[in-house]
Chains A and B, each alone.
Chain A
């Protein structure tokens, strides 16, 4: 079986970091990710099943790993070698299709009793991600025992599977995992609402899906989104943003919408109640702090890394920054509905076979500039590709 495998090779990882800094996605050609032949995976327990990926998306966190700029925070919660790929729709042995819920929670690890978070259904906050009968791994796609979507086969616990309705395309189904992240974020925002104005920073895959999810959770608030490229701006509007502006102009627009005053140095005296940062970079977080209202909240959905921020305004204005990681099963179920409602298969801009992984990753790393949204690996047999 062919699989793209990421090994612990520090030299190559450093090289990937250098290449990735020179040009996004270049880490794929020099780093530790290689297409290899692997043996079939062992099932970790009797109730586990095999899932043959049909489409597997390339996510921002995958790209950060491949380009060598992931935080070292992840080191103890991944296990090598692993096969990336956690946005997966695949075939089960009975011929039915399922999307993967990649979180590796207590139940998947055979841990009994479950941790408090898993007991409460908040598997994304599992406290045992490096324990139990599986090697460490926060999700499928970062765990040596489970395999990942960028291969011919992975193994999954039944709790990780969600059946795909017959009429949902593979393209829409592969969007369910990132959409579940967006649903999780939107529910978090809605729970603290209602809100008059919400800013969404970034109109990549996660940003666009967050806009759609926010709109479905809160049909009345004004959503202002930033979009760097024309296609992103068009999609953001189509998915429910009321106003889409270039990242550069967000502070001006927020000032104008809120009637804020401007202090020397460009600081605003008011802002939007909620900022959802779907980028997670130093620049986006700095901007989020600039445009959030006093007492407002910043929800970080995009994966950040090492970041230097001036948090004086956070203190002075009593705003909050909170992380927003992954999803619960309930988020996934809602995401499945939304994927159908919004015809999200259209966000899959291009697919590649595993043999063209370098091109695929470069394309994904430069998706915005190249007019694309989601890039995925296509592992379907040609005859089945149209399903």
Chain B
């Protein structure tokens, strides 16, 4: 080591920090290349894929991106349809991503791995739940992997990014994963972005009413992560709760990945009946733990991801803290519907190492993939003419999924059932979401008049307030 560097050197550190940044981006690049895995679909016999089915002479005039892509212009006779899965397979949401991929694989297996004789090939790509990376990875799927359609993304802000990206690739089709920011389809929607899953506002249908009428809560505070999906969730809850006469006295928004909630809990007002909590994954676990440690008195109300199956399967002492928390989501573990039971059986059979009950992430990717496959079936796998026929067919797709009937509205957004649930302990000791109420056919405005609803404006960290909801719709 030379003389100048003998002392503890700031420069050494800074240079190394620079190297770290450099290396981190280099590794991200490497990861981008290595992360792509072609998944053989399980069911079909090895129909030999014809990867370079050269652009057929009848191919339509294509955009530059598509022109460079042989598989993008395959005619009906060509061998395969390539579907890209965009999900978060790393970091704090890794488990959600695993569930997402299972959902797509489940749907593909249901169709025997092929549509109209064309083999379906899946290409997985992982995001880190940020909009920038989601867009970048979607571009990679379209431009390098030459996928025909994308299923994804997983998280709220990513969905908004892909809606905007979808507008730049009109001859490709994106169906959502579980991304649930409402504005993705409500405001300024993209004509080739379809969402067969319901959004964060719809996922709250029934909960505000249940908390007000059955639980008797009148004053609540809310706590959520600071991005588009929790904004939708809080709004969805307040839309019902405030119209009935409830009050929201304080709102807290914390950065994603906040570890230590002790000071937020201390800052909660003491004269409330309940705290509405919408945090995902480890954030939810950390909050629940701190809340119990600090002897929190107010009851808790769970957003859809706060009491999702992924959180309920936390290893360790969490269980006493979550039993009895009410919440709402598009799935309920003990749904008596035979279609749900059959679906859960199929899940357990195909993924013995999976969760005890499929999570809402599995459901979201499943229904979206299924919608896409039904659309593909309707056009016999014909992706010519810039996928126009496929997109027209997708808009008309209606089906009975594991949680009931699903159809799309004029913005290509699902209208579907929603479930009010309560965390309970099953006979096998596993925690699950016990069905309390079914709310049928929930549309994007929760049945409220659309003009008034749109006049509320985009949901943000301070919109809508309880007062505004009461003024707009009358309490």
Tell whether A and B belong to one assembly.
Answer: no
Binding site for B on A (CB under 8 A): none
